[in-house]
Amino acid sequence: MFKDTEFQDYEPDNIQTYQPKKKLQEQELTPADKAENTMVSRMRIVVEHALAGVKHCHIVQDVFRNTKA
């Protein structure tokens, strides 16, 4: 499961989570950490675009009324 850096304290039971690495104060990230952050963000952006499409099309919000009796 991939998550934002906002949810640092939340760790679900029996699930391995990945989040981008933050640079420490006055230190830079290593090239390996930067590559890992890029991989995580590329996977997350696909999910974010799918969620935005669901919201844009009102798929969850509106009631589907095209049913036959």
Q: What is the pLDDT of residues 9-44, one digit of tens each?
A: 667 778 777 777 888 888 898 999 899 889 888 888
3 or 56: which leads in pLDDT: 56
Write the CB contacts of 18 (distance below 8 Å, at least 6 apart in sequence). 1, 2, 3, 40
Q: 0.85 exceeded by the pTM? A: no
Supply the pLDDT for residue 32.
93
Q: Is pLDDT at 4 greater than 90 in this prediction?
A: no
